């Protein structure tokens, strides 16, 4: 069950990557980001409402520790992780920013082992190493793709969903920011895993994390004063694409949180992050190989698939 939920999350996140690429061409990413996170909150609480009425709502007793853990996970994942990730896009470009997310599973495995004493069997460890190696190959950036980074960066550089903070002036390297993004996501994932063990409410937990992320984003966004004006003038198709993106991303987050009840956090996280095996071939046909797919990429996809099969079976 846990593997299936993690695979569902991976499929949903993959669909969102493709959807976002289409949406960016139609609507300002800053506005779209706010729409997406707002829909995260609304749809998550809608699902929780449906769960209470039509299904077994599970343990609804108050769990202070679980509640706080879900909120903290939202801070690290929904808010801080995305902040650093978009800063990475601005500094390094979208292709290299995505490539650095390969370090996320490494951070997650180490943190889960140190703080949750999570133990992995030799089969799981072998599968993780196989998938990581495959993801490194998939994330390899051909030289011709690197030439497009300047153009991509110029399109993304104006995206600043969070205010400039003084300590950011000390961050000179885009690589450091990329690693901080990966680390923040990893911390959020581990905390979600700890939260679900304390309070078995993946839907409510996802909603709480999304709510805190949304509140922090609104409180710190420079463009919030112009939101309604931009929204009224926005391309309607772009708005709908980000709306759907919000539904997809919160559904994916809830799925991976639920999967952590059955399988180790490290394994669930790694399966979820194996999106390149779906995004890469779909991108090839939809965007005419803009990502520069090579034989090395195909070998990497094969290794990732092999590792996933070993884990699931």
Q: What is the pLDDT of residues 146-179, one digit of tens each?
A: 455 445 544 444 444 444 444 455 455 567 887 8
| pLDDT exceeds 70 at position 222 | no
pLDDT at residue 288 tops 60: yes
Sign for the pseudo-dihedral over CA of 237, 152, 14, 39? negative
Q: Which pairs from 202-206 meet CB under 8 Å and 24+ separation?
A: 202/254, 202/255, 202/257, 202/258, 202/261, 203/44, 203/47, 203/48, 203/51, 203/254, 204/48, 204/70, 205/66, 205/70, 205/73, 205/254, 205/257, 206/44, 206/70, 206/250, 206/253, 206/254, 206/257
Judged by DSSP in three states, 78 sits in helix
pLDDT, tens digit, for every residue of 89-115? 656 655 566 666 677 777 888 888 888
Radius of gyration of the chain (CA): 19
What tokens were used for 134?
């495959």
pLDDT of residue 47: 94
Q: What is the mean pLDDT of residues 295-300?
A: 74
- pLDDT, residue 9, reads 92
**What global pTM score does this model have?**
0.77
Give the pLDDT confidence score for residue 70 in this predicted structure: 94
| pLDDT attached to residue 309 | 72
Residue whose entry in the numeric block shows the structure tokens 């463009």: 223
Reported in sequence order, the residue ranges of the chain that DSSP labels E, i.e. its strands, are none
pLDDT digits (tens, 9 = 90+) for 173-206: 567 887 888 899 889 999 999 999 889 899 999 9
- Write out pLDDT tens, residues 225-261: 777 788 888 889 989 999 999 999 999 999 999 999 8
Q: Could you tell me the CA-to-CA distances from 17 to 127, 176, 208, 244 in Å, in that order?
A: 25, 23, 23, 12
Per-residue model confidence (pLDDT) at position 48: 93
SS (H, E, C) 255-310: HHHHHCCCCCHHHHHHHHCCCHHHHHHHHHHHCCCCCCCCHHHHHHHHHHHHHHHH
């Amino acid at each position: 069950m846990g593997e299936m939920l993690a695979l569902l999350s991976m499929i949903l996140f993959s669909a969102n990557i493709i959807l976002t690429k289409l949406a960016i061409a139609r609507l300002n990413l800053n506005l779209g980001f706010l729409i997406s996170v707002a829909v995260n909150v609304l749809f998550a609480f809608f699902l929780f409402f449906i769960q209470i009425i039509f299904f077994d709502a599970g343990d609804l007793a108050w769990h202070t520790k679980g509640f706080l853990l879900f909120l903290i996970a939202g801070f690290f994942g929904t808010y801080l992780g995305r902040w650093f990730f978009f800063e990475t896009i601005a500094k390094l470009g979208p292709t290299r920013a995505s490539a650095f997310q390969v370090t996320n599973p490494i951070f997650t495995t180490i943190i889960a082992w140190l703080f949750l004493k999570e133990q992995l069997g030799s089969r799981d460890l072998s599968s993780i190493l196989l998938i990581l190696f495959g993801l490194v190959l998939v994330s390899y950036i051909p030289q011709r793709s690197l030439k497009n980074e300047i153009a991509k960066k110029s399109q993304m550089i104006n995206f600043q969903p969070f205010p400039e903070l003084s300590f950011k002036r000390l961050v000179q390297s885009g690589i450091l920011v990329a690693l901080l993004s990966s680390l923040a996501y990893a911390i959020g994932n581990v905390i979600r895993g700890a939260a679900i063990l304390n309070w078995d409410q993946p839907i409510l937990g996802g909603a709480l994390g999304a709510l805190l992320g949304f509140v922090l984003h609104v409180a710190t966004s420079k463009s919030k004063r112009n939101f309604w004006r931009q929204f009224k003038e926005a391309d309607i198709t772009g708005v709908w694409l980000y709306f759907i993106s919000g539904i997809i991303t919160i559904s994916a987050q809830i799925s991976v949180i639920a999967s952590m009840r059955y399988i180790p956090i490290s394994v669930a996280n790694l399966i979820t992050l194996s999106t390149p095996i779906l995004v890469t071939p779909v991108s090839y046909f939809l965007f005419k190989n803009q990502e520069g797919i090579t034989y090395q990429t195909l070998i990497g996809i094969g290794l990732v698939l092999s590792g996933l099969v070993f884990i699931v079976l």
